Structure 1
Amino acid sequence: MKILFYGAGVLGSLYAARLQEAGQDVPILARGRRLADLKEHGVVLREATGTGKRTATRVGVVERLAQEDAYDLVVVIVRKNQLPSVLPALAGNGHTPDVLFMLNNAAGPRQIVDALGKERVLLGFPVAAGWREGHEVRHLVLPGWLQRMQKTPLGELDGRTSPRLGRIMGAFRVAGIPVEASPNMDAWLKTHASVVVPLELAVQAAGADVRRLSRTRDALVLLARAMRENLMVLRALGAPVTPGSLRMLAWLPEPLLASLLGRFFDTEFTEMGLGTHADDPLDELAQLAGELGDLSRAAGVPTPAADRLRGHLDPAAPPIPDGSARIPMDQHAAVVAALGAAVGALVVLRRSRSR
């Protein structure tokens, strides 16, 4: 397959290199300094964890997508706020039948469909993390068993498993990229934003310091509540929480969830994955937070914790004090959970005695 990657950032570079190494013809659209780096060095990947393995993959490089250019597939991996500048070139190119959009999107695919038509559009998301250091891409490598769980979701707008989706998934698998067909990519993307946007806003609320966030209970409580509020919005709109494992965020006792989040942030792996982005421009985060706000208003569901975290997009907003623990936690859910566990234990005990 001839696959154009529209976007030469960390994730576009990572996926493009893997597919090129697997025998696909994969040019990358790039501009400016990144264009020069790719021409001189190729895609240089270095593992940020594990062995620190370094690879260099030569790829084709183009500066624009012309109307007459023909590809089997275009993969778009850009920041959501960059999407409006990308759509005109894609719409003007009539020789590429399939365009796979792999980017954050809480607003739904209407903007994309209106520009390209629904028959050309597929959705997905790049499940990977990394950052750039000069011309190198540093990427995080999970342990083997976690890699098997880290599958890149891809899907048709209507959720069906089409022949073209099968071909794309096959190319990804040959490249060693675990993939899965999603029956509802729109819900997947909305769920992802509902969890990840509050998470990144909480980092900002803690002064862009991941370790500080891990020990600041008030920020963790706001994060836990904001994620729950966003998932309540999705349920009110009839969008299923996807993947289903994230439904646990709705019923885990708040003290337990805050504690688990604190442990999550207090790791070197999380600090590398999030801390390296703490100083990135907040334009995409602001866009996604606004999209979640639009969903909240459409559903008529208030989101006070999410709104409070959103306020930390303002550079003038003071961070939550280091170690602050002034917000009372909701103990009601914890009591209910404890009572449920106690009742369950009694039932098991009685059954065992009756045998």
Structure 2
Amino acid sequence: MVLGGIDGSVSFRSLLEKAFESTKYKLVFHEDMDAWLKSHIVPILAMNAALFAKGGRLQEIARDKDTRTQIIAAIDEGFSVLEALGYTITPSGQAAFFRNHKRTASLALKIYHSVPVARLVDGSFEEIAAFFEAFADWKRKAGVPTPRFDDLEKQFFSSNKAESR
């Protein structure tokens, strides 16, 4: 379990460690939780936007290489926005995976969208819309072009949220 404070260390870390010492959970304290959270928003946005655009049909994404390619490109663009703002993508392997191993990333997305458990971790329309709103501000500040990300956002907002679930 990754834990951290938005403004630095967790002041009650010792209490958490004591509370979890006899459990199977491994606590990992991250010093830059803001970067960690923002780094996770990027793939959440891209994957959920595609899911809503496809009407919630996971298998359609699994079968559609162009959509998976767009998700990967959008994630790369999103990471570029964060990097332009001075954030370190965390974990760093996440950025390397989507940037340097596109075929493997596409296969991973294909598998992910083929299994029913994916339905349990998707976001609500309102949640994803709020993330897009926050990300729009970051994009403006960064000045980084994000054509694939923008296209997914447009598809997301054009989707009928009632039909997408």
Class of the TM-score when normalised by the shorter of the 2 chains: 0.7 to 0.9
In the alignment, which of 315, 329, 342 is matched to residue 159 of structure 2? Answer: 315
Matched residue pairs, number? 161
Please, what TM-score do these two structures have when normalized by structure 1?
0.42
Q: Which residue of 2 aligns with 1:225?
A: 73
Q: Which residue of 2 aligns with 1:188?
A: 36
Q: Is there any run of 5+ residues in structure 1 with no aligned partner, and where?
A: 1-151, 320-355
2: distance between equivalents of 1:275 and 1:161?
A: 32
1: distance between equivalents of 2:160 and 2:99?
A: 35
CA contact (8 A) 2:39 2:89 kept: yes
CA contact (8 A) 1:231 1:250 kept: no
In the alignment, which of 279, 289, 297 is matched to residue 132 of structure 2? Answer: 289
Following TM superposition, by how much is the alpha carbon of 1:173 offset from its aligned partner in structure 2, in angstroms? 4.0
In the alignment, which of 90, 93, 105 is matched to residue 245 of structure 1? Answer: 93
1: distance between equivalents of 2:107 and 2:15?
A: 43
CA contact (8 A) 1:227 1:249 kept: no
Following TM superposition, by how much is the alpha carbon of 1:306 offset from its aligned partner in structure 2, in angstroms? 1.3
Q: Which has the higher helix share?
A: 2
| 4+ runs deviating over 6 angstroms | none
Q: Which residue of 2 aligns with 1:178?
A: 26
Following TM superposition, by how much is the alpha carbon of 1:302 offset from its aligned partner in structure 2, in angstroms? 1.5
Higher relative contact order (CA 8 A, sep 6+): 2
Change (3 A) 1:276 1:250: closer
Following TM superposition, by how much is the alpha carbon of 1:300 offset from its aligned partner in structure 2, in angstroms? 0.4
1: distance between equivalents of 2:101 and 2:94?
A: 14
Paired residue type of 2:4: G
**Largest Rg, 1 or 2:** 1
The CA RMSD measured in Å over matched residues stands at 2.4
Q: Which residue of 2 aligns with 1:211?
A: 59
CA contact (8 A) 1:159 1:185 kept: yes
Work out the percentage of aligned pairs sharing the same amino acid.
25
CA contact (8 A) 1:228 1:249 kept: no
